[in-house]
Amino acid sequence: MSDQNVHNAGFTSSGIARGSLASSLMSHEARASGGGVPSGGPTSILQEMGARGTTHSSGYTTSGISGGSKAANTMSKEATSHGGGVPRGGTTSTVQSI
């Protein structure tokens, strides 16, 4: 994943850009969660990366998820909570796709 992709999606150092993919993701995630964006979800993870201005060492790479990384930890927790699989549209798949 590149810094530019995260920024282009609307996750910036000044917050989520209005009318962006990021704002759409945040809206969808908030509706699905009953009105709030959950900590550790796709929106919060990507916004954290956008605010820092770097995706380096997050573990989401063009080759897949790096072993032992924050991304691997997130993927493991998500798979455990979904009975062993990582769901489409979940945190791991959404962040990895961007």
| Beta-bridge partners for 60 | 65
Q: For residues 65 and 30, state if they share a domain.
A: no
Look up tokens 């900590």; give the residue: 39
| Amino acid 46: pLDDT | 86
Which tens digit of pLDDT belongs to each residue from 16-33?
Answer: 999 999 999 899 889 888
pTM of the predicted protein model: 0.69
In the predicted model, is pLDDT for residue 49 greater than 60? yes
Q: For residues 89 and 61, state if they share a domain.
A: yes
Number of domains in the chain: 2
Average pLDDT over residues 54-72: 82
DSSP-assigned letters across all residues of 11-46: EETTEEPTTSHHHHHHHHHHHHTTSSPPTTSHHHHH
Helix and strand numbers, DSSP H then E, in the chain = 5, 4
Q: For residues 22 and 68, state if they share a domain.
A: no
